[in-house]
Amino acid sequence: SKSNEPPAAPPVVHYYMNNLTTSRDPVGNRETVLILTPLARFYQEYWDNLVKLNYPHELISLGFIIPKTKEGNAAYTALQAQVTKTQGGPKTKRFASVTILRQDTESPLQTQSEAERHKMENQKARRAAMAKARNSLLFTTLGPSTSWVLWMDSDIVEYPETLIQDLASYDVPIIAPNCFQRYYDDNKKTMDIRPYDFNNWIDSPVAKELAAKMGKDDILLEGYDKMPTYRSLMAMMYDASADPRLKVKLDGVGGATLLVKADVHRDGAMFPPFAFYHLIETEGFAKMAKRLNWESFGLPNYLVYHYNE
Amino acid sequence: SKSNEPPAAPPVVHYYMNNLTTSRDPVGNRETVLILTPLARFYQEYWDNLVKLNYPHELISLGFIIPKTKEGNAAYTALQAQVTKTQGGPKTKRFASVTILRQDTESPLQTQSEAERHKMENQKARRAAMAKARNSLLFTTLGPSTSWVLWMDSDIVEYPETLIQDLASYDVPIIAPNCFQRYYDDNKKTMDIRPYDFNNWIDSPVAKELAAKMGKDDILLEGYDKMPTYRSLMAMMYDASADPRLKVKLDGVGGATLLVKADVHRDGAMFPPFAFYHLIETEGFAKMAKRLNWESFGLPNYLVYHYNE
Ligand SMILES: Nc1nc2c(ncn2[C@@H]2O[C@H](COP(=O)(O)OP(=O)(O)O)[C@@H](O)[C@H]2O)c(=O)[nH]1
Ligand SMILES: Nc1nc2c(ncn2[C@@H]2O[C@H](COP(=O)(O)OP(=O)(O)O)[C@@H](O)[C@H]2O)c(=O)[nH]1
Ligand SMILES: [Mn+2]
Ligand SMILES: [Mn+2]
């Protein structure tokens, strides 16, 4: 600009929060979606599915948080290549903005094999670290015009391209599809599917009793034989022959794929990195949201697929 | 721009979180400060003091959240006039950016006289609403390059222009000056000062016992004769003749003036709008920060002044 032009005044932005809708018709109402991914490993299918989403890309912003590990470095390089390609490609495929955060803290667990990260004794430290990563990403990227936050893990490699519209159509504060995994069944000699994410559940009296007897910093974990909770797991409710739109109320949720109205987070719902009612991370989030009068729901018969190592 | 230029690609921003410092020399390290104010009433002195801050204004962003009330409308109009004046005035006085959020929810209490808002039976609903307002403001405005968050109530009308540097020089996660009030002493026939904010305190065994016997959604309140807690109140520790740099560890903090390292919030520390260890809002925030291993401190002999109605 010319040096004798009057200098532009810095930005002042006014946001009327009641103009920001989160409705069952998010495309019609031009509602913006922030897709957030804690990313330790990059999968090409993950990116390809983001690009294939048929929600208007100019309404989608992406946010990533990547750990300071060797694995994180590799994921960062792979992500950057795809971001550059997509954001420099056809206009209709470009996302509104992309924010990439590199963490400054070491991960408590360097090995990240499926077996290692699911060991019960590793879960508390690991999930506390994950909770902090999710909070950092959330607090840093949520903006005044965000209507929805879609949490999407980097190893979710298959879902319908109408995912955002499908989940938003229920018009509920928090909603999780059912996270499954494809695998080769050695007996049947064919590919099959099985439940993967056990964090979507309805609470049980047994779990409540277990919690009541615990030390105040202890946490309940789901999916471990050593600690049977008799919660009703959404992973076990899948029925291919039942109503595909079946919706159930949940008390705990996973973060693998989760659509949240941004106002739930704005009220203060975050991912507790400490025992919160004996729950942590995404499961603690559902509980905290409930304390703020926001309900969680799940779709037992709407599947998304987790990568199989 | 010319129509035959290649269209610019949407922004991709990379943030290395370890490059973002929060140090005892924030000016030297060019650290950005986000000043956040829940604003129901506008005071000219409040604005004048912001403008007088000698921290580089290009490193300061401002964020406001204003209730949807008649009082809020008046505050909004008054704020806008000052923002327009300052942001259009001398370059060195302009702030980096200003974000103004208008709330979409009704305030639980429409009357806002000092007497009315301090009534014990009004405190829980009022402070829950304040907590949600603070969370909305925080989640919406905290950005990837924010180093510090300075919480500043709109009725804080007097403090040194070196406030930010002074508080940051202690290099602690959370720090509160002592919030006093000027008043006319009818007996002495002269102006004097008295404590105003009782939310900065060190916990006591009595308070812990009271909490242990409470219902799970009940909260402890400070500064009410009906509920003596015997906590050590920073408001009562002021000593004009003692070390002005005296620093004490706190268990509860107020939000009237409070400097917080942005990473404390990024880890997930927010203002609980529900009973959290029988604490709520800013006092609950200090407890939550502690659960995340961040300590709170106070400066008994460093005064800021609250407006006197
Ligand atoms: N930022 C960050 N992301 C991580 C870390 N560990 C795992 N992730 C990512 O967080 C999500 C969930 O982790 P994952 O290991 O797949 O969990 P699991 O499938 O429940 O065992 C995935 O998107 C990972 O790529 C970490 O230490 N930091
Ligand atoms: N956004 C918003 N701000 C509020 C509301 N009520 C008060 N405030 C502001 O929040 C801060 C603290 O409130 P105040 O009534 O002064 O609290 P007190 O001095 O502790 O009694 C001040 O900056 C007020 O202007 C509200 O309902 N919404
Ligand atoms: Mn996974
Ligand atoms: Mn006040």
Q: List pLDDT tens digits, range B286-299.
A: 999 999 999 999 99
Q: Within a domain: residue B5?
A: no
Closest of A108, A255, A99, A140 to residue B265, by C-alpha: A140
B49-101: per-residue pLDDT in tens? Answer: 999 999 999 999 999 999 999 999 999 999 999 999 999 999 999 999 999 99
Q: Nearest CA to CA, how far is A80 from chain B (Å)?
A: 9
Q: Is the pLDDT of residue B3 over 60?
A: no
Number of domains making up chain B: 1
**Inter-chain residue contact B91 with A265, CB threshold 8 Å:** no
* Ligand 2 binding pocket mutation candidate from B35, B136, B154, B307 (most atoms within 8 A of CB): B154
pLDDT score recorded for residue A106: 66
Q: Is position B206 within any domain? A: yes
Looking at the DSSP bridge assignments, the partners of residue B202 are B232
Specify if B10 maps to a domain. Answer: no
Do residues A101 and A136 touch, judged by C-beta distance below 8 A?
Answer: yes
Q: Tell if the CB–CB gap between A99 and B144 is shorter than 8 Å.
A: yes
Rounded to whole angstroms, how far apart are CA atoms A308 and B27?
A: 49
Q: What's residue A38's pLDDT? A: 98
Domain carrying residue A62: 26-306
For the residues B197-222, what does the mean pLDDT come to?
Answer: 93
By the 8 A CB rule, do B176 and B234 touch? Answer: yes
Q: Encode pLDDT of A117-174 as tens digits.
A: 777 778 889 999 999 999 999 999 999 999 999 999 999 999 999 999 999 999 999 9
Ligand 2 lined by B93 (C-beta under 6 Å) = no
Q: What angle do CA A16, B118, B250 make, to 5 degrees?
A: 90
Whose Cα sits closest to atom 11 in ligand 2? B153
Q: Assess whether the C-beta atom of A67 lies below 6 angstroms from ligand 1.
A: yes
Query: Does the residue A13 lie in any domain?
Result: no
Task: Report yes or no on B21 lying in a domain.
Answer: no
- β-strands B32-38, A190-195: how paired? unpaired
Cα A40 to averaged position of ligand 1 atoms, centre (Å): 6
Whether the Cβ atoms of residue A179 and residue A158 lie closer than 8 Å to each other = no
Ligand located closest to B153 CA: 2
Question: Could you tell me if A59 and A30 are in contact, meaning their C-beta atoms sit under 8 angstroms apart?
Answer: yes
Closest CA to A65 of A123, A107, A95: A107
Q: Would an 8 Å CB–CB cutoff place B85 in contact with chain A?
A: no
B147, closest residue in chain A (CA to CA) = A140
Structure tokens that stand for A14 in this block: 């006014």
Range in A9-13, A112-116, B53-57 the model is least confident about: A112-116
The burial of B243, by beta-carbon neighbours within 10 Å (0-12 exposed, 13-18 middle, 19 or more buried), is given as exposed
Q: Is the ipTM of this complex over 0.90?
A: yes
In B, which residues are within 8 Å of A91 by CB distance? 7
From B200, B285, B276, select the one nearest B238 (Cα to Cα). B200
For the segment A196-249, what is each residue's pLDDT rounded down to a tens digit?
999 999 999 999 999 999 998 999 988 888 889 999 999 999 999 999 999 999
- Residue B233 clears pLDDT 90, i.e. is over it: yes
Q: Which of B249, B38, B36 is nearest to B127 (CA)?
A: B38
Is B91 touching A (CB cutoff 8 A)? yes
pLDDT at A105: 72
Secondary structure (DSSP) of A144-161: TTEEEEEEE-TTEEE--T
| B6 in A contact zone (CB under 8 Å) | no
Measured between alpha carbons, how far is B117 from A220 in angstroms, rounded to an integer?
A: 40
Three-state DSSP state, B307 = coil
pLDDT at A182 over 50: yes
DSSP state at residue A83: H
Flag whether A8 is in a domain: no
**Looking at residue A218, what is its pLDDT?**
92
Tell me, yes or no, whether B131 lies in a domain: yes
Nearest CA in chain A to B135: A268
Residue A213 resides in a domain: yes
Residues A141 and A135: their CA atoms lie apart, in Å, by 10
Q: What is the CATH number of the domain that holds B163?
A: 3.90.550.10
A270 to chain B, any CB pair closer than 8 A? The answer is yes
* Option in B18, B83, B272 nearest A12 (CB): B83
**Ligand 1 mutation pick, A36, A39, A281, max ligand atoms within 8 A of CB:** A39
Task: Please give the residue of chain B at the shortest CA–CA distance from A16.
Answer: B102
